[in-house]
Amino acid sequence: MANVVVVGSQWGDEGKGKIVDWLSERAEVVVRFQGGHNAGHTLVINGETYRLSLLPSGIVRKGKLSIIGNGVVIDPWALLEEIDGIAKQGVEVTPKNLRIAENAPLILPLHRRLDLAREEASGTSKIGTTKRGIGPAYEDKIARRAIRVCDLADPETLAARVEALLVHHNALQRGLGFEEIDGDALCKELLDIAPRLLPFSGTVWKELHAARRTGKRILFEGAQGAMLDIDHGTYPYVTSSNTVAAQAAAGSGTGATGYVLGITKAYTTRVGSGPFPTELEDETGDLLGERGKEFGTVTGRRRRCGWFDAVLVRQAIQVGGIDGIALTKLDVLDGLPELKVCTGYRHGGESYDHLPALSAIQGAVEPIYETLQGWQESTHGARSWAELPATAVKYIRRIEELIGAPVALLSTSPEREDAILVHDPFAD
């Protein structure tokens, strides 16, 4: 059976939660492999809205195994709060349906504090982080000083790891004019929470290997989007992890992934700072934001909106090995007299068919647009091609040509069943 990796092909917020939930009906295992609780996935099921950050979207389906892989940074307090919150909506989370990689690094209160202090000190150069400690936690992981889930099982190991961690962090605290962190108090906080977290912990790479050997379908769920990738995104205005499909293997401990599905919004949005070539700072941009309910699931921040950028999506497809896309929020474009699609950039007398790596150029490129006819009919809730206006189909086909990848799935509303399946990724 084929496995499927779901990733964002823009700046995140493309509607991955619904697509992963929709696809999870065909899978037995759903895996988060990068990011942290800066992710925000909204699911609407039978009128009930579920807002997830750390929990994989498969958690709302009975009989599915959800896994948080080693590539994710975990705030244990936020995770348990999320588990308690979703329980109030009738979703039971136990060690039988949720497994956490024992080697996953933890986000600590000191990471959140450092993240907030850095953003506030950055002034106009703010990255636009969620201030939840994601970046500092990844820094400690790479520097080999992170506290990991497994460390909570042994008080002596934990104390030694905390002591080593604070050699670095207390120097930062002093430099920022903050009070030093009490290592004993931090250890106590972690040991207090350990009995609730450790039952979910396990050697998930072995569990995934067993799932593969027995032919179970595995769905890998990415967070953020390709243009926020630490290597391939609009650096430095990016997240602190690799968001492309290749990270699914490293971030979960399994080498075999499979079909890569890129979730792609029918227009473009971005949260936070950084370049955005097709941004619309006018009534049309406001209209897209209002219709699309473009507010961050995690932070509530208003998303910047603009026309579809085929250059960025094509770049994401080529860099990330995307086989096909799931096009979302087509219905937001209903009723617009004309639509524009970015097909290239201009800067300094030169034309570009990609977004250059140099940030000075990224922030100054001018989009080259192609204008397409809009449609006045509604596409909301359509479940077959026959229900779509001819001009909407032309828009979709043109996007396919420009990005060099087919539409495998078309989503026409936030509801789980409002979708048109063109190609089942699990069939490959």
Catalytic residues, by residue number, are 13, 41
DSSP, collapsed to helix, strand or coil, labels residue 270 as strand
Amino acid at 260: V
CB count within 10 Å of CB 7 equals 30
CA nearest neighbour of 406 among 386, 421, 388, 426:
421
371, 372, 373, 377: CA torsion to nearest 10 = -130
Angle of helix 76-87 relative to helix 183-197, nearest 10 degrees? 40
Q: Which residue has the tokens 């779901």?
A: 6
* Residue 353 burial (C-beta neighbours within 10 Å; 0-12, 13-18, 19+): exposed
Amino acid at 201: S
Helices and strands (H, E) in the chain, number of each type: 12, 18
Q: Are 202 and 102 in contact (CB under 8 A)?
A: yes
| Gap between the Cα atoms of 309 and 225, Å rounded | 14
Amino acid at 262: G
Instruction: At 237, list the tokens.
Output: 């205005």
Q: Are 50 and 88 in contact (CB under 8 A)?
A: no
- Rounded to 5 degrees, φ, ψ at 9 are -110, 5
What does 118-141 look like in DSSP terms, one character per residue? Answer: HHHHSGGG-----SSSHHHHHHHH
| Gap between the Cα atoms of 282 and 270, Å rounded | 15
- State how far Cα 410 lies from the chain centre: 19
CB count within 10 Å of CB 180 equals 12
